[in-house]
Amino acid sequence: MGYTKIWIHFVWTTKKRQPFLTKDIKSKLITHIRKNAKEKDIFIDAMNGDKEHLHALISLGAKQSVSEVAQLIKGESSHWMNKEKLVKGKFEWQDRYFAISVSESVLSNVRKYIRNQEAHHRKKSYAEEVEAFMKTYGFEVDEG
């Protein structure tokens, strides 16, 4: 097998952007996601977020795909959140997510951006962040 180094910046949100991720819940969730990811040989370099979303910087393994990693993390973590009853009602992630490739030359910038999510969102809402992502990376808006 060859050597690979493919960095992906993932972003995903709670269903209907519900602000379920309080500081305490988010901390427990991230700890759980990191532990579960390690068991599945998913390397998470950085992870953080705000009340309704998470960012993760992940290095894909040679046999991993973006969709597989997103499904493993999101599916298992929502199941765990519900099993642990960390929020009232049913916890779900939205089906969609962002996944952007990251060059080695900007890894430290992406790590810093992810690490500083709380401060970032005191200045810019998640909706504004999504709009900037869409423009910066040339995504087409799909209202469906």
Residues paired with residue 80 on neighbouring β-strands, in sequence order: none
Q: What is the pLDDT of residue 49?
A: 96
Domain membership of residue 126 (yes or no) is: yes
Query: Is 1 inside any structural domain?
Result: no
- Asked if residue 137 belongs to a domain, the reply is no
For position 12, which CATH number holds? 3.30.70.1290
**144 inside domain:** no
Task: State which residues form the domain around 109.
Answer: 6-131
Count of domains for the chain:
1
Q: Does 49 map to a domain?
A: yes
Ramachandran class of 126: left when φ > 0, alpha when ψ lies in -120 to 50, beta otherwise: alpha
Which residues have C-beta within 8 Å of that of residue 84, sequence separation ≥ 6?
A: 28
Whether 99 is covered by a domain: the verdict is: yes
Distance in Å from the first CA to the final CA of the chain: 40
pTM of the model: 0.90
Of the candidates 66, 20, 46, 53, the residue with the CA atom closest to the CA atom of residue 129: 53
Say yes or no to pLDDT of 144 above 60: no
For residue 133, give the 3-state DSSP assignment.
helix
- Dist. CA 126–CA 132, nearest whole Å: 10
Q: Considering the domain boundaries, does residue 87 fall inside one? A: yes
Q: Does a structural domain hold residue 140?
A: no
Give the tens place of pLDDT for each residue, 109-137.
Answer: 999 999 998 888 888 888 888 888 788 88
- Indicate if the pLDDT at residue 140 is higher than 80: no
Summarize pLDDT for 68-90 with one digit per residue, the tens: 999 999 999 999 999 999 999 99
- Give the tens place of pLDDT for each residue, 31-59: 999 999 999 999 999 999 999 999 999 99
Residue with tokens 């973590």: 77
Q: What is the mean pLDDT of the chain?
A: 92
pLDDT of residue 126: 83
Q: Which of 69, 28, 76 is nearest to 49 (CA)?
A: 28
- Residues 6+ positions from 75 with CB-CB distance below 8 Å: none
